Amino acid sequence: MLLLFAVLMLIAPVTFTTVHQQQNVQVLTPLMQWCVLQVAEEAITTTVDALQDRVDLSNLFRGVSPQSNARYILKSIICYFGHHYQAYAFSEELEQWLLFDDTNIQLIGDWQDVKHMVRSSRLQPSVLFYERSSA
What pLDDT, on a 0 to 100 scale, did the predictor assign at position 64? 76
Cα separation, 75 vs 96, whole angstroms = 11
pLDDT at 5 over 70: no
pLDDT at residue 122 in the model: 93
Amino acid at 114: V
Domain boundaries, the chain: 2-132
pLDDT score at 24: 66
Mean pLDDT of the chain: 82
Indicate if the pLDDT at residue 91 is higher than 80: yes
pLDDT number for residue 7: 37
Least confident range from 16-20, 23-27, 42-46, 112-116: namely: 16-20
Which residues does 122 contact at the CB level (< 8 Å), separation at least 6?
Answer: 39, 41, 44, 81
Model pTM?
Answer: 0.79
Residue that wins the pLDDT comparison between 71 and 118: 118
Is residue 26's pLDDT more than 80? yes
- What does the pLDDT read at residue 8? 39
